[in-house]
Amino acid sequence: MRISRESTDYRVYRILSENPLSGEKLAKKLGISRTAVWKAVQKLKECGVYVESNASGYTIAGEEELNPYEVARLAFESGFKEVHFYDVTDSTNSRAKEYGKPDALFFANRQTAGRGRHGRKWLSEEGGLYFSVTLSPPLDYSELPKLTLIAGLSVAEAIPQSEIKWPNDVLIKGRKVCGILSELHGEVERPLVIVGVGINVKNPHPENGISLSELYDVSRREVFEQVIRNFSKNYRMLLDGRWCELRRRIERRCSSVGKAVRVTTPSGVAEGIAEAISEDGSLVVSGKKIYAGDCIHLR
């Protein structure tokens, strides 16, 4: 479902998420009839929002739940203009590609054909976070890999004890908790970048990885809120020309740096010590810049 910022149901949710209010006051505030308020409340309930009504009016309960309107609220507050929410879809990256325009966020509770890097599958059972954003940044083509790095940074800084494995995995104790799939579409001069993020929050079977719920009690809402706010801040910093600062933070969080690594790239395998994240976002392995690839930590 697409949630529009201007829709009555979203505006009612927005107000009630801050304060309980009576139907009468809501109607006055929004300049609509009480019937329209009632209809909007029914729509919210149908979409899984817990709206309670008592003598003092309507109240939203269960704030810890990540309902479609809460996803939209957090996305709009982070600067996105469109939000599409699915209980189930094949892949949010595919939905985003189909949409084809920037500044949108696609979110799913479950994916039936979640995609990972290098054509791999991404198991997307209920309990995880699966979302994709569409961007059209005014950046040079060569700078686009930085978007994947800042997405990883945004996740890593939202998850205590986590580390970045260059270029785009987030690990806890060496086990994968998040994967990122960035894809480019459209014109080379101004491509559409899709950044898809999958995070194991409460996944019952995190394939070869770890779920946050194995370590501590955390809600999907908390994780999503933190990640999307971090991403929006970091993205703005990147556009403001503050890559140096971001790079330092990525390097600090990146456990690949200082390790012996093997990186499988489209043109072969590079093995050596990962020395740094360079100015252009590549990984420096024994003096040689690597721009893309699958990285394994050897020791």
Residue choice 2, 28, 29, 120 for contact with ligand BTN (CB under 6 A): 120
Q: Nearest Cα to 72, choosing from 61, 87, 83, 63?
A: 83
Number of residues that bind ligand BTN (CB under 6 A): 20
Cis peptide before 206 (omega within 30 of 0): no
91/97 Cα distance (integer angstroms): 10
Nearer CB in complex with ligand BTN: 85/130: 130
Cβ-based nearer residue to ligand BTN, 13 or 122: 122
Among 97, 115, 146, 202, binds ligand BTN (CB under 6 A): 115
Q: Binding of ligand BTN at residue 242 (CB under 6 A)?
A: no
Long-range contacts of 237-245 (CB under 8 A, 24+ apart): 238/137, 238/139, 238/146, 238/147, 238/150, 239/137, 239/138, 239/139, 243/143, 243/146
Q: Does 198 bind ligand BTN (CB under 6 A)?
A: yes
Interface with ligand BTN, residue 89, by CB under 6 A: no
Closest to 108 (Cα-Cα) out of 137, 71, 138, 74: 71
Residue with tokens 């083509």: 141
Options 1-9, 54-62, 68-76, 177-185: segment touching ligand BTN (CB under 6 A): 177-185
Asked if 43 interacts with ligand BTN (CB under 6 A), we say: no
Cα(268)–Cα(133) distance, integer angstroms: 31
85 near ligand BTN, judged by CB under 6 A: no
Single out the segment in contact with ligand BTN by CB under 6 A; choices: 19-27, 33-41, 195-203, 262-270: 195-203
Could you say which residues in the range 124-163 bind ligand BTN, by CB under 6 A? 130-132
> Can you give the binding site for ligand BTN, defined by CB under 6 A?
91-93, 111, 114-117, 120, 122, 130-132, 169, 179-181, 196-198
